[in-house]
């Protein structure tokens, strides 16, 4: 079957997103490497490096199932800080928790199955919220942004790393070819799963571009929103503050 999300009622999107991530959970690293030629590792490192997260901070990493961002954040917040990893999908959380435990990363980490649209935390709980390659999958993004703002402490920051709009026309043509012609084939070949890769390529094209997402953050109550493009806008980092 083909995940044509455009034709699916909103209520069912969540279920389908769940299926996609349950089916890719185990091949997740492979998928990221195929999609980005391995560059996602550099994007994530850069994301955490410019996050402004400090020793002692309490950070919520949303859609953090793989543990990639948490593994980079934990050394930054140190022993007196905490990283809470929140993800809607139990399989993704399981993979991430196992992986970080194998690397000896246990204390100061918490794992919570949750929906980014309705966070189970009191107001003003976190110094920072990070979300890498997650917002794209959230059904009601405005609701999620508003709830993220609520759980941040005043002055706290939101950092979103997400696919965005490629800035150069020629590069965009190559990128489309890779995404729609090459990627689903690689997905079938290496992971036995072309549909999930097709969904990912489509969801990337439908995600709000740099300026649109900035406007959504401002409407959700954030200020001082800054945008940085990486790799010609294939991905962008939005940094915003709860004022």
Q: Rounded to the nearest whole angstrom, what is the least distance from the CB of residue 160 to ligand SAM in the complex? A: 11
For the bound state, the minimum distance from the C-beta of residue 62 to ligand SAM, rounded and expressed in Å, comes to 6
User: What is the token pair recorded at 37?
Assistant: 């030629």
Taking the least distance from each CB to ligand SAM, the nearer of 111 and 133 is: 133
CA distances from 35 to 73, 200, 219 (A): 23, 9, 32
CB atoms within 10 A of CB 101: 12
Residue 42 neighbours by CB distance under 10 Å? 12
Q: Specify the residue, 95 or 170, whose C-beta has the smaller distance to ligand SAM.
A: 95
Which residue in the block uniquely carries the two structure tokens 């489509």?
202
Which residue reads 């997402």 in tokens? Answer: 213
Pairing relationship of beta strands 222-230 and 126-132 according to DSSP bridges = unpaired
Specify the residue, 50 or 243, whose C-beta has the smaller distance to ligand SAM.
Answer: 50
Contacts to ligand SAM by CB under 6 A:
17, 21, 62-66, 68-69, 87-89, 92, 115-117, 132-134, 137-138
Nearer to ligand SAM, 79 or 118 (CB): 118
Pick 103 or 224: Cβ nearer ligand SAM:
103
Minimum CB separation of residue 131 from ligand SAM in Å reads 7
Give the shortest CB-232-to-ligand SAM separation in angstroms. 20
Cite the beta strand spans of the chain per DSSP E: 58-62, 82-87, 109-113, 126-132, 152-163, 222-230, 235-242
Whole-angstrom CA distances from 7 to 3, 4, 55, 204 are: 9, 6, 46, 17
For residues 224 and 29, the answer to whether their CB atoms sit within 8 Å is no
Taking the complex as a whole, how short is the minimal distance between the CB of residue 225 and ligand SAM, in angstroms?
Answer: 21
CB of 122 to ligand SAM, least distance (A): 18
Nearer to ligand SAM among residue 66 and residue 179 (C-beta):
66
């Amino acid at each position: 079957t083909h995940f044509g999300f455009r034709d699916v009622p909103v209520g069912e999107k969540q279920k389908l997103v769940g299926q996609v991530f349950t089916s890719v959970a185990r091949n997740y690293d492979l998928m990221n490497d195929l999609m980005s030629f391995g560059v996602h590792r550099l994007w994530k490192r850069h994301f955490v490096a410019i996050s402004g997260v400090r020793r002692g901070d309490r950070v919520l990493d949303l859609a953090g199932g793989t543990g990639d961002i948490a593994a980079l954040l934990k050394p930054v917040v140190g022993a007196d800080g905490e990283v809470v990893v929140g993800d809607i999908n139990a399989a993704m959380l399981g993979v991430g928790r196992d992986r970080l435990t194998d690397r000896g990363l246990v204390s100061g980490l918490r794992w919570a199955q949750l929906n980014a649209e309705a966070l189970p935390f009191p107001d003003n709980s976190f110094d920072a919220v990070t979300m890498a390659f997650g917002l794209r999958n959230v059904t009601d993004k405005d609701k999620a942004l508003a709830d993220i703002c609520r759980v941040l402490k005043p002055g706290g920051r939101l950092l979103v790393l997400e696919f965005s709009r490629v800035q150069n026309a020629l590069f965009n043509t190559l990128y489309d070819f890779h995404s729609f012609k090459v990627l689903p084939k690689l997905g079938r070949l290496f992971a036995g799963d072309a549909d999930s890769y097709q969904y990912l390529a489509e969801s990337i094209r439908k995600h709000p571009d740099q300026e649109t997402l900035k406007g959504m953050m401002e409407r959700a109550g954030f200020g001082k929103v800054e945008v940085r493009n990486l790799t010609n806008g294939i991905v962008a980092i939005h940094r915003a503050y709860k004022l």
